[in-house]
Structure 1
Amino acid sequence: MPARLPDGIHCAADYSRLAAGAIDAPTLAYIDGGSGEDRTLAANRAAFGRLGLVPRLLPDLRGAQTRLSLLGQELAHPILLAPVAYQALAHPRAEIETARGAAAAEACMACSTLSSASLEEVAAHAGPQRWFQLYFQPQRAATLDLVRRAEAAGYTALVVTLDAAIQAPSLRALRAGFRMPAGLRAANLADYPPTPPKSPAPLPGASRIFQAATRDATTWADLDWLAAQTSLPLLVKGVLHPEDAGLALDHGAAGLVVSNHGGRTIDGAPASLSVLPSIRQAVGPGCPLLLDGGVRSGAGAFKAIALGADAVMVGRLQVHALAVAGALGVAHMIRLLREELELCMAATGCRTLADIHDGLIHRFHDY
C-alpha cells in the first residue's frame, strides 16, 4: 500500500487518467474495452454528459447526510463497488486491496465469482456490508456450494449476473494483442471438478453462436431454484428491458441492477442510464434499483438517483484506483465520489438522497 497518494488527483476520474502509467497497454485495453467498436461503452458515458443539474438558492442543509437503507441494510452512502473479475490484472493483491479500500470508505463491495482472491479472503478484509456476485455454474452442486460459502463468509446479498452468457469480443483488446496471463485463475472455482468439454465441434452447417447461446443456458427456473436455496436477498444484474425487470421480480429477485455489463455484452445495447427511468416506472417506487455503467463522478451518481436509482455501482474506476494506489487509492476514489455527490446535493438543496428528484435535472439539447 503506497505511503501517499500520487500527485495530480483532483477528482475521482483522475484515477482513470493515471491508470495508463500503472497498467500495461494491452491489459488496459482489455479492462477499458467493451465489445465490438465500443459504441455502448461510449453511450454509457455520453448519457451522463447530456444531463446537467439545476441549482437552488439558499437551501437549508442542516442535518444533511447520504445514508440509505437498501435490502434492509444500512449504508453510509449510495456508492458501491461493482463486481469486477480478475483484479490481479491490476494489482498483485487484487480484490484483497479493493476490499480494504472499500471498508475504509464505508462502501459495500460486490465480490465476483471470478475474483483472483477467494471470497473468504475478500470477506476477511471487507466491511460489514459485502455482497457476492454469482454466475450460475454448469453443475448445480457447484453453484450451491458457492452460495453456502458466501453465506458462511458473511455476505449479505447475492448479485446474480444474467446478461453475460454471450459476449461479443472487445476489438480494442484484440487489436492491442491482449491475452489472459497463463497463471491467472478464478480462485473461487479452483476446488471444483473441471468443467467437461462444452460440446463437440459444430456439425456442418451448425451455428457456433447459437450453440454457445444454448449450452448450459440459465433459465428463469434456475432463478426460482436459487431463490429457494438461500435466505440472502437476490439482485438480478443485467436488466435493460422493463419486461425482464418484472420477470426477475416474479422469479425471486428482491432488487435489480440496471446494467449493460459495462458495454461488454453486445455492442449497440442502450446506455444503462437511458433505460433507467422506464425500469423504475415498470417496477414502481419500492423496488431496490441500482445503476451500473458509466459512473465516473459524484455528479453521475446524483443524476442516476434523480432518474430512479437508489444507488450506483462503480466498476472500471475501482480497477483504475486499485492499479494506481492499491487500497489507499480505492478508498480515496470512493471518498472523492462521495464528496462530489455531496457537492451536488448542497448545490441543489438536497439534504438527503430522498430529496433528489428528476426536477433537478436539466437536459441539454444541441442547438
Structure 2
Amino acid sequence: MTSFVTLPVELVYRIMDHVSDFTMVCSMKNACQRFSDIIETYPRYQTLTALDLGYYQIGDARLQHLADALRRNTTFTTLSLSGHSIGDVGAKYLANGLKHNKTLTILNLANNQIRAVGTRYLVNGLQQNKTLITLDLGSNQIGNIGARHLANGLRHNKTLITLDLGHNKISDAGVQHLADALRHNTTLTTLNLTGNQVGHIGAQHLADGLEHNTTLATLDIAHNQIEAVGAQHLADLLRHNTTLTELYLGWNEIGAVGAEHVANVLRHNATLTILGLENNQMGVDGAQHLANGLRHNTALTTLILEYNNFRAVEIQHLADVLRHNTTLTTLDVYGNRIGDVGTRYLADALRHNTTLTTLNLKSNYIGDIGAQHLVDLLRHNTTLTTVSIFMNEIKYATEHEINECIARNKKLR
C-alpha cells in the first residue's frame, strides 16, 4: 500500500484543493519535510496573501506552526487572529516569527488576552521587522506597562503607520509614555486610544507630545474621560499642529465648555477635515459655539454629532451655518431629538447649500410632516446623494418619495 507521504505531488495537490487555508498552513505545512516542500510549490499557497483565522480554534501547537510559517513565507501580507485568546505565550510565538518575516504588512491581534508581557515580546519582534505597517492590539489587556513597552518600540520604529490600542485599560500614565514616543516617531499616522481610561491629564500629555509631531494624521480618543479641560488641551494643540486631519472626541463629557474650546480653534484651523463629537451633551450653548466656529472654518468636511440630545433649537444654530457653508459634505446627527421642526430648519437651510452630500437623520423622532420637508427640499436640491431616515416615524409612501429623489441625484452625479 502506498504511504500517504509518498503520494505523487499531483495527487497531493488535488488533496490540498479540498482543505482550508488554515489546515494547509497550520497543519499540513508542518506534517513532514516532504509536505512542507510540496506546499511551498503549491500554486494556491504561493499566491496566498491574506489569512483570516477569525473563525478557527487555534491552540498553542498550531499557533507555533503558524509562527514557523511566518519565518519562511514570502506571500502573506495580512494575518488576522482576532478573538483567539492566544495570550502572552501566543504573542511570543508570533513575535519570533515576525523577527524573520519580510512580507507581512497587517497584523490583527485584537481581543486575545495579551498583557504587558506579551506586548514586550511583540515589541522585541518588531525591532527586527521592517515591513509591518498596521498593528491591531485592540481589546487586550496591555495596560500602562504594555503601553510603555510599545512606546519604547515606537521611538525607533520606521515602518508602523497604524496602531490600534483601543480598550486596553490604558490611563494617563500609559498615555504619557506614548506621547513621549510621538515626539520622536516620524512614521505613525493613525493612533486609536478609544475606550481606555484617559483623563484630562492624558489629553495634555498627548497635546504636548504632538505639538511638534509632523506625521500623525488621525487620533481617536473617543470613549474616555477627558472632559472640558482635556478638550481645551487638544484644542490648543490644533492651533499649532498642521498635520492632524481626523480627531474623534466622542463620549468624553466635554459639555458646552469643551465645545466652546473646540469651536474657537475651528475658526482658524485649516487642516482638520473630520471631527467626531458624539454623546458629549453640549446643549444649546455648545451647539451655538460650534455654529460660530463653523462660520469661519474652511476645512472641515465631516461633522459627527450623534447622541447629543439635540432638539430643534440646537439644530437651528447649525442649520443657519449650513446656508452659507461651502466645505462640509457630511453631517451626522443620528440619535438626537430634532423632530419635525428641526428637520424643517435643516431643509430650509439646505435649499441654499450646494456642498453637503450626506445627511444622517436616523432615530430623530421625525414624523411624516418633517419627512415632507425633506421631500420638498430634494425636489430642488440635487447635491444630497445620501439621506438616512431609518428608525423614525415616516410613512412608507413618503420614505419612498425621498429615496426616489436620492436615486435621481445619484444619477446626476
Length-normalised TM-score, structure 1: 0.29
Higher Cα Rg, which structure: 2
Report which of the two has the higher share of helix.
Answer: 2
Task: Specify which structure has the bigger relative contact order, considering alpha-carbon pairs within 8 angstroms and separated by 6 or more residues.
Answer: 1
Length-normalised TM-score, structure 2: 0.26
